[in-house]
Amino acid sequence: MKRMVNVLHGIEDRLRPWLHAILQAVQMRLVTLLQWLRHLTGRRVWGLVTVLLCLSAFNGLFFASNIQTVMDREGWVRHTLTVQGRIDDLTIAITQAVATQRAYLLTGDTTYLPPNATSVQMIPADITQVRQLTSDNVDQQRALAALQPLITAKLAEVQQTIALRQAGNASGALQVVVQNEALHLTQRIQQGLRSMRGTENILLRQRDAAAQSALAEAITAFVVGLLVLIGFFIAAGRLTQIYLRQRERLAAERLTQLEEEQRLRQTAQDALSQRDQLFGIAAHELKNPLTALTTTAQMAQRLLAREPVQNPRLAALLASQTQQARRMSSLVEGMLDTSRIVNGVFTLDKKPVNIAELVQEVLNEVQPTTTIHTLQFAKPREPLWVQGDAARLGQILHNLLQNAIRYSPDGGTIVISLTTQEDAVILAVRDQGIGIPAEALPHIFDLAYRATNVRRYSVQGMGVGLYVTQQIAQLHGGDVRVRSTEGEGSEFCVTLPCLIPAPVANLPMSPTTHALPS
């Protein structure tokens, strides 16, 4: 054991600078590892911790088992040394017994007798001990068994000669001692004991070598295990670094991407708002030339009408010019309304409006513009009040009537009705025109949408009318809905919140509410 400690100390001295460096590296890796662990999900953390624990536990157990082996082998070495000690004890005891016997026989000095008796007494015990200690060794047992009768004989000779001398027969005693047989016996005993000791020496060398190699193995295994652990730590640290760097790079990339996206969005928004503004300005700037165009054409018509000789072709041209100028004005209004809605500056001047009266006024304005369409409207007797912008509400009806006229190229009756439903007013415009294809119905209120069948009838427009109409209705807290069958006509229903709910019974346009009980 002491040898092993010495060996370990030697190794430690050599390894200390290395261990120091390794510990520092491990500490640093541990810090990055902990940083990494914070970023990892639970499953990965436990996986890593498990791997680390397994590695450490395996290394510890392996080291412990190796140390056990080393200690076992050291035990055998100790055992051999003990055996050698007992053999030496036996040798000394025999040598002393013979020496004190000789001295007493020659001198007759009785002081030699007690040590002689002690040695003689010790010998059987020593033999027993050696036998017990070498019980696992057949060779030694055999050698000891061969020696035992010789030793017994020798001890018998010693006791016999001492007894002779004590009885006064000194020469007889000496005669026994110098006998060839007695000398030979001593020699054989000493030879046998040397041989036994030699056997133990060989064993000692073998066992010592085994113990040394076990220790070397244990240390090697431990160092290798430690290196593997350290390697794992270093790899984990390296991975952490790579992972963190990757994360940083990804974050930076994402940020750049985000900035680029924001920049693009801003550019697009700027372009859009610039476009919308330009759109508004352009529409606005068109108003001056349109004023001049409208008034000059109308004035020319007036002057022509006063001429004594009629000129129908010139009159037709001027009428067309006036009509086109009016149309252009309404297109410009549509553009401006769209621009205001899109830019969020579409404002309403809300006041209580008698919608029944307003509808009548608009119809009076629109009826003269067509000769082939009949506008049919039964004005409710009671006023119907709506909180809204009269001009804008009129615009809704204007747009719907214009569409009804435009999309009924063969003329016909256009029925306008005004009804109430709970606390809402419903203004409906029903025509018998070309109708709207089913697939177009969900889109007709979209900006710049034009149904597929309008081209067939060469009806022109920008596709802003219904968009503006819907927006105005919604700004009044209302809604516009459509029902249409292609080829049979369309019905647009504008729902507006009623300011003062009118009694339903007074509405002639809703006869269904008076269904007779059967």
Partner 1 sequence: VTLMTEPTHTPKMVLIVEDEEPIAIALAMIVEDAGFTVACASNGRIALTLIHQQQPDLIFTDLMMPQLSGQELVAYLRANGFTDLRIVVMSAIEKAHMRVPGADALLPKPFSLEEVDAILREFLG
Q: Is residue 277 a contact residue for partner 1 (CB under 8 A)?
A: no
Q: Which of residues 173-212 bind partner 1 (CB under 8 A)?
A: none
Cα within 13 Å of Cα(166), Cβ side: 11
- Least distance between partner 1 and beta carbon 290 (Å): 4
Structure tokens at 125: 């015990």
| Contact between 314 and 297 (Cβ < 8 Å) | no
Nearer to partner 1 by Cβ, of 5 and 345: the residue is 345
First-to-final CA distance of the chain: 119
Binding window for partner 1 (CB under 8 A); candidates: 230-238, 255-263, 289-297, 370-378: 289-297
Binding window for partner 1 (CB under 8 A); candidates: 39-47, 173-181, 248-256, 280-288: 280-288
| Contact between 471 and 346 (Cβ < 8 Å) | yes
Instruction: Measure the CA–CA gap between 359 and 365, rounded to whole angstroms.
Output: 10
User: Among 107, 179, 269, 291, which residue interacts with partner 1 (rule: CB under 8 A)?
Assistant: 291
* Cα four-point dihedral sign 497, 498, 501, 503: negative
Q: Is residue 287 a contact residue for partner 1 (CB under 8 A)?
A: yes
Instruction: Measure the CA–CA gap between 4 and 364, rounded to whole angstroms.
Output: 121
Nearer to partner 1 by Cβ, of 207 and 398: the residue is 398
10 Å Cβ neighbour count for 41?
8
- Least distance between partner 1 and beta carbon 439 (Å): 36
Q: Is residue 447 a contact residue for partner 1 (CB under 8 A)?
A: no
Q: Which of residues 302-331 bind partner 1 (CB under 8 A)?
A: 302-303, 325-326, 329
User: Among 39, 265, 284, 455, which residue interacts with partner 1 (rule: CB under 8 A)?
Assistant: 284
Q: Which of residues 375-434 bind partner 1 (CB under 8 A)?
A: 389, 391
Instruction: Measure the CA–CA gap between 70 and 63, rounded to whole angstroms.
Output: 10
Q: Is residue 368 a contact residue for partner 1 (CB under 8 A)?
A: no
| Contact between 386 and 425 (Cβ < 8 Å) | yes
Q: Which of residues 343-362 bind partner 1 (CB under 8 A)?
A: 347, 349
- Least distance between partner 1 and beta carbon 304 (Å): 13
Q: Is residue 442 a contact residue for partner 1 (CB under 8 A)?
A: no
Q: What is the DSSP string of 322-391?
A: HHHHHHHHHHHHHHHHHHHHHTT------EEEEHHHHHHHHHHHHGGG-SSEEEEE---SS--EEEE-HH
Nearer to partner 1 by Cβ, of 151 and 293: the residue is 293
- Least distance between partner 1 and beta carbon 406 (Å): 21
Please name the residues in contact with 468: beta carbons below 8 A apart, sequence gap of 6 or more. Answer: 334, 337, 338, 341, 395, 399
Distances (CA, A) of 215 to 79, 403, 421: 18, 105, 103
- Give the count of residues interacting with partner 1 (CB under 8 A): 25
Q: Where are the alpha helices (DSSP H) in 134-179?
A: 138-166, 170-178
Instruction: Measure the CA–CA gap between 388 and 272, rounded to whole angstroms.
Output: 30
Q: Is residue 292 a contact residue for partner 1 (CB under 8 A)?
A: yes
Nearer to partner 1 by Cβ, of 111 and 295: the residue is 295
Q: Is residue 158 a contact residue for partner 1 (CB under 8 A)?
A: no
Burial-class residue 518 by CB neighbours within 10 Å (0-12, 13-18, 19+).
exposed
User: Among 198, 231, 289, 352, which residue interacts with partner 1 (rule: CB under 8 A)?
Assistant: 289
Q: Which of residues 95-124 bind partner 1 (CB under 8 A)?
A: none
Nearer to partner 1 by Cβ, of 3 and 284: the residue is 284
- Least distance between partner 1 and beta carbon 509 (Å): 31
Nearer to partner 1 by Cβ, of 389 and 491: the residue is 389
Q: Is residue 282 a contact residue for partner 1 (CB under 8 A)?
A: no
Helix crossing, 2-39 with 42-107: angle to 10°?
A: 180
- Least distance between partner 1 and beta carbon 403 (Å): 22
Nearer to partner 1 by Cβ, of 296 and 370: the residue is 296
- Least distance between partner 1 and beta carbon 253 (Å): 49
Binding mask 39-78 for partner 1 (x = CB under 8 A): ----------------------------------------
Task: Give, as one character, the DSSP assignment of residue 446.
Answer: S
Report the interface residues with partner 1, using CB under 8 A.
284-285, 287-296, 298-299, 302-303, 325-326, 329, 332, 336, 347, 349, 389, 391
